[in-house]
């Protein structure tokens, strides 16, 4: 019988703002968090289907260790969910504010690209 993988997560009170902000400072991880916020728990592969497994593991580990994400094994899958409630208890409104700003910035970038391509709006 194969050993069940277990993952270590910080308790809610141990989640630190500098570590959370560092985890959210990388565009790829921020996009992963956006997907988790919108879609709920996902298999890690769904967060970055085109990424090398080592890159995906690195980023999901950092999100887990910072307290941003919860990771659990389900058979051969690595299921990941956003710890939105824990983060909101620790830092009220932080995740909503960050994701709102991120979505606005993405929309502006998309508008800039559309204008730059000569496409009429």
Q: Which domains does the chain have, with CATH numbers?
A: 15-88 (1.10.10.10)
C-alpha dist (Å) from residue 39 to 26, 47, 85, 98: 20, 10, 15, 17
Q: Is the pTM of this model over 0.95?
A: no
C-alpha dist (Å) from residue 74 to 29, 36, 60, 80, 116: 22, 17, 16, 10, 45
The number of residues in the chain equals: 121
Nearest to 29 by CA among 57, 63, 54: 63
Which mean pLDDT values do the consecutive 10-residue runs of the chain (121 residues) have? 81 97 96 96 93 94 98 93 97 96 82 62 48
């Amino acid at each position: 019988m194969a050993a069940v993988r277990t993952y270590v997560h910080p308790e809610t009170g141990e989640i630190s703002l500098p570590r959370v902000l560092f985890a959210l400072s990388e565009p790829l991880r921020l996009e992963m968090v956006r997907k988790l916020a919108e879609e709920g728990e996902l298999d890690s592969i769904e967060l970055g289907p085109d990424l090398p497994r080592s890159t995906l593991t690195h980023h999901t580990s950092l999100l887990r260790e910072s307290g941003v994400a919860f990771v659990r094994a389900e058979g051969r899958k690595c299921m990941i969910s956003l710890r939105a409630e824990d983060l909101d208890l620790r830092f009220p409104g932080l995740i909503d504010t960050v994701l709102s700003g991120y979505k606005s910035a993405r929309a502006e970038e998309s508008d800039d690209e559309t204008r730059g391509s000569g496409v009429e709006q």
